[in-house]
Structures are given as structure tokens and as C-alpha cells.
A = this chain, B = another copy of it.
Amino acid sequence: MSDVSDWWQTSIIDMEPGRIALRGKPIQDLIGHISFAQMIWFLVRGDKPTQAQAHLFEAALVAAVDHGPQAPSIATARMAVTCGLPLNNAMASAVNMLGDVHGGAGEQAVTLYHFVETRSGDLGNALDEWISTQGKILPGFGHRFHTPTDPRAPRLMALVQDAVDDGACDGRFMKIATDIEAELMRRKGKPVPMNIDGATAVIYAELGFAPPLARGLFCLSRSVGILAHAWEQSQQGGRNKGPTPPSYRWTYTGARNE
């Protein structure tokens, strides 16, 4: 019969009164010695990144912090503080939004890259197969706003190339992603550019993070913008702010049988 102390098991943290060890390291030996980004990598994976890996990893975290009050996550955070929520609750409501379509798409993009890798040499068929089961919207590609190019994607790809040159990764997933981009251009006759989910997914895949972690790391990154906007909104004031001014409502499409 299972014992209570066995119910939760972890290799992340060990403690006794006066002692905390993370992944086997006393916490006081980590504080002041590793960067926040290195700590993220270390706590999630258990190993430490090389300098070049850390640099690339940090670029992905920096790139996705914000996309403005038009993004559902940021809008939610701003509305939340006008409803009287403190920052932890505002951040929670906002991070919750980062599902399959918004931010969480990074997870699907890594999965797509892995899938294409297993069909190497045959991108066209791989995409057809993916689309037949997953639908025609490829995760990580296309943007309704940043056309033709999301400025974050080429910058991130340049840093992946630097990392390849430094031996931090081998560029395999960057090639897959840019091949997909080219194939989409060919099929559609117009650019369907890599978006922020697709570009950071390249980096997370190159660095060996499992697909769900692309979503988790996006959440960490976007939490920064969420915090900044929630805080700014709280300084501006405003009570119970909906999406638009009270004078703008919505279109009613229902019955009028009163």
C-alpha cells in the first residue's frame, strides 16, 4: 500500500529545515552564479546549457514577451486589473489563454518539425499527410497582421545560424522550417511566413526541448509582457474595462420575440 511520502516524487528539489537543493545543488550556490535563463534550463532539464546554447535559448525567451493589447493574453491581463485583480490573478487568467491557437501553437510546431523529420526527403508528402489529419492551418506559419514578414522570425533564424556555426545545434529544424515556408509560398502563391510560435519552436527543437516545453517556455516568456501590461494598466486606472468603450457594444443576431 502506498505511503503518503511516496505519493509525490521529484528529482527537482530536495529539502530539510535550513537546506534547499535544486537538482542536487545547494540553492545558495546557484543564487548569484547562474542567470535566470540558465536557471530555467537547469530546473526544467537538469543539465546546464553551454554558453552558446544559453545565448540562443535566451533569444527565444526575449523574442516572445509581447504582442500588444490586441493579443487575447495581453487584453485579458489588462481587463483583469480593471476588475480589481492583483497581479498574480491577472497573470494567471492571461497565461491560461495560451492554448493551442495562441502561443500554445509552439508545441504543435515542434511536433510538426519532428514529424517532417521522420519523413525526411519528402516534404510535400509529409505536409499532405499532416494536413489530412490535423487540418490545413500549419502551426507556426502565417500571420494575419505581420505580412509579409514577422520581424522576429528572420532575426531568430540568424541567431540559429550563429549557433550552428558555434556548434550549439545542427540547424536541422531551421532547415525544415524554412523548407516549409518555401513550400507554402509555392503552394499559395504568396508568403505564409514563419510566425513567432514557428520561429521559437525552431530554437526549442534545435536545443532538444520536447514539444510541450515549447508551449511552457512560451508561457514564461509571454508572462513578462503580461506583467508589464497588467502593471501599466493598474497605473492608468480604469474600472471594469471591457474590450471596447461602453458605447460600442456588439451585434445582436438572435430572436426578438419579446
Contacts and interface: CB of A to CB of B under 8 A. Distances in A.
Classify the interface of chain A: helix, strand, loop or mixed.
mixed
B227 A219 contact: yes
Interface stretch (A30-38, A114-122, A124-132): A30-38
Interface string A61-72: 111011111111
Interface in A199-251: 212-213, 215-217, 219-221, 223-225, 227-232, 234, 236, 239-251
B71 A225 contact: no
A242 B70 contact: yes
Contact of A250 (B9, B43, B152, B242): B9
Contact of A88 (B18, B87, B99): B99
Number of copies: 4
A50 interface: no
A232 B69 contact: no
Contacts of A256: 14, 21, 24
B103 A95 contact: no
B239 A101 contact: yes
Interface in A66-117: 66-73, 75-76, 78-80, 82-89, 91-93, 95-104, 107
Contact of A99 (B43, B83, B156): B83
A242 to B, nearest CB: 4
Nearest to A144: B246
A8 B4 CA distance: 14
A222 B241 CA distance: 17
A243 B8 contact: yes
A102 B224 contact: no
Nearest to A235: B210
Q: Size range of the interface on A?
A: 35 or more
A26 B75 contact: no
Contact of A84 (B37, B104, B216, B250): B104
Nearest to A21: B258
10 contacts: A7-B243, A10-B68, A28-B152, A43-B227, A69-B242, A84-B99, A84-B100, A93-B96, A101-B239, A243-B244
Given A46-B255, A72-B240, A89-B92, 19 more contacts: A4-B245, A10-B250, A12-B232, A13-B66, A18-B151, A23-B255, A27-B151, A31-B155, A31-B159, A36-B36, A36-B37, A39-B65, A69-B243, A72-B79, A72-B82, A73-B83, A101-B240, A137-B239, A242-B243
